[in-house]
Amino acid sequence: MITVIGYILTTLGFGGLAYSLFTVNTNKRYSWTSPFSSFEKTIIAVAIISFIILLVGIIMVIFSFVKKKNEDKLNSLKNLRNNNKCPNCGLNVTAGINECPRCHQKLNNIDGGFYNGKNNY
């Protein structure tokens, strides 16, 4: 959901900036120098607000991708800890046993998964 909102904000911000730049370039009857008319102040305000909306949208999109990447890593670590396979031969074994029936690897039960004394991830 946050990704969709980020894309919407990015699109709105880009559109507002494009509108502001188009208006500045096509309205030759305004000087666009200080002191600014009320119309020029409005267009400048639209450009600033659009730029802020664009930045917020980009930050939200980046945040959502980083969050998704971290959730994927966390889920893979949880799956690694919760699989009931012998780390030596890969045999599916019952949780709570101390030795693999196929290869006789000693198994230390950690949170429902097995650990053979090596880093298995």
pLDDT, one tens digit per residue, over 30-84 is 888 889 999 999 999 999 999 999 999 999 999 999 998 888 877 766 655 556 7
Q: Identify the residue whose tokens are 């919760």.
A: 82
Question: In which band, very low, low, confident or very high, does the pLDDT at 120 lie, cut at 50, 70 and 90?
Answer: very low
Position 113 pLDDT exceeds 70: no
User: What are the structure tokens assigned to 57, written together?
Assistant: 């949208």
pLDDT at 36: 92
| 3-state class (DSSP) for residue 13 | helix
Q: What angle do CA 75, 1, 63 make, to 5 degrees?
A: 65
Could you tell me the pTM of the whole model? 0.61
List all residues 6 or more positions away from 22 whose beta carbon is below 8 Å from its beta carbon: none
